Every structure is written in C-alpha cells, then in structure tokens.
Amino acid sequence: MAPRETRATIERVRRILPDLHRLELGVEEGIARLKPGQLLLARLSDEGWDPYLAERWIPVALSGRTVTIERAAGNHYAPGQIVSLLGPVGAPFPMRHNLRNLLLLALDTPPTPLILLASLAVHSKIEVTMVLSGQAAQYPLDALPEEIEVLTGSLEEGWPNQVTTVGWADQVVSVANPQYRHLLYPALLAKIHELRADVPRRYVLGLFDLPMPCGTGACQGCSVSCKGSRDHLTCVDGPALDLEEVNFG
C-alpha cells in the first residue's frame, strides 16, 4: 500500500520511562493495517511544513483503529491533539519462511522498532529471544511482550546461551544506536559468521532509522550504500536491510 496523508488523534499518553512515551492514536483503517517494519511520518502541527522534517513514529502495538507508538520525550503530547500522518512508510520486515525461532537484538538503543514484530511473532507461535545490550538494558521489561525470552549482554562479551540462540535462530533482526551503527552492524555480522556455518540471504537484518524528508522515494535523502547494482532507500526498500548487502566500507 502506497503511503498517503491522513490525520489521527492522540487518545492517550503514557510515560514508560522518564525519557520515553507511548501514545495511543485513533487512526483511519488503512493506517491500522501497518506491518512490522513500517512506520509513520508525523507532524504535530497542522501548519503545513512545520516542522520541516516530520518525526518518525514507530508502532509498537495495533488494536482495531488504535495504533500505539513510542516516542522519546521532548515534544509535548496531550490527548486530543490532532496529528498529520504520512503512512505506511517503508517495507514490512522481509521475513524468511517457516520461522520457528527468531533472534532480535537491540544494540545500545531501545528495542522499540522490534516490539511489534516480537508481539506478532509470539502470536504466530514463533519462539522469540531478544538480546538487550548497552543502553537497551535500561528498557522496562514490562513494556515487552511477556512471552519472549529477554537476555542481556553484548557483542564483545556475549550473552547467556549465545551459541544456542544463534544456532537455533531462523533469522536475526537487529536495531543499533545510529551513532555506532557503522561499527555495530559489521561486528554483528562477524559474530554471526563466527557462530554459524550457513548465513543465507536475508538472514541478518539491520534497521536503518535515517531521517526521511519525503517518505515516498522521491528525494533520495534516505539512501544507504549497498554492494549490489543500486543503493537502497530506507523509506521504500527498508528500513530493514539485509546486512550482507550493505556497504560499510
């Protein structure tokens, strides 16, 4: 479904950490059918291009016509506020078929973009293990789906049962602190290759949460350098990309 402009109402605001809010939005039906990986570009103001760069709003739960998103505190959000939305933006996570075990990693950043995927996966009887490293370990466990296994650790030091969790995983999906992404993703790839003989296509996905000036593939502003014939636009091909295809050099 192509992204389109719509309006939504903030129905509830809940603080889950001093610097993290969850907002429940009343949305139109098309927006409520977001898939894990897709996001919304939001403007709180109804004043056209204010702010110029829309905020990237990441859904963490869907229920009927309500989409719950998670935002770092900073802006003032209040019930009744009207929001201009563009969405759904991006492609759903390119998941492999016949998943039974899924390994999710939040590398020194909150696991927000992985939560909807984790919820829907456990609903589909997929075993989910989530590894929280660095500042991700501060994330409140009661804000994660209770059916998933949560471990803490790091790429350097490892995590409990690291060999087993990687060996059993049918796919790995990760999000990394944007400041260190260029280091963390290659380190993750190296670790997976160290622990597995077979790393098929689309096995290790990484999220690229870049600013999105247009959200429709028109401006090339969210391009990621890739090894193949063309670079990828995170607003069209992403935000999750196969890390084997990304050019980190």
Q: How far is the CB of 206 from ligand FES (least distance, A)?
A: 17
Q: How far is the CB of 98 from ligand FES (least distance, A)?
A: 32
Secondary structure element (H or E) that encloses residue 244, with its range: none
2 versus 197: smaller Cβ distance to ligand FES: 2
89 versus 169: smaller Cβ distance to ligand FES: 89
5 versus 149: smaller Cβ distance to ligand FES: 5
101 versus 216: smaller Cβ distance to ligand FES: 216
Looking at residue 209, what DSSP letter applies? -
User: What are the φ and ψ backbone dihedral angles of 166, each rounded to 5 degrees?
Assistant: -75, -40
Q: How far is the CB of 8 from ligand FES (least distance, A)?
A: 20
10 versus 235: smaller Cβ distance to ligand FES: 235
Compute the distance between CA of residue 18 and CA of residue 145 in angstroms, rounded to an integer: 20
Compute the distance between CA of residue 60 and CA of residue 175 in angstroms, rounded to an integer: 14
26 versus 213: smaller Cβ distance to ligand FES: 213
Which residue in the block uniquely carries the two structure tokens 């804000």?
143
Q: How far is the CB of 239 from ligand FES (least distance, A)?
A: 10
Is the distance from CB of 188 to CB of 170 less than 8 angstroms? no
- Residue 219 has which token pair? 């401006």
Compute the distance between CA of residue 17 and CA of residue 72 in angstroms, rounded to an integer: 9
Q: How far is the CB of 89 from ligand FES (least distance, A)?
A: 8
Compute the distance between CA of residue 168 and CA of residue 127 in angstroms, rounded to an integer: 10
Residue ranges in contact with ligand FES by CB under 6 A = 212-215, 217-222, 233, 235
Q: How far is the CB of 67 from ligand FES (least distance, A)?
A: 21
SS3 assignment, position 100: coil
The CA distances from residue 226 to 129, 200, 233, 242, 243, in Å, are: 28, 17, 10, 10, 9
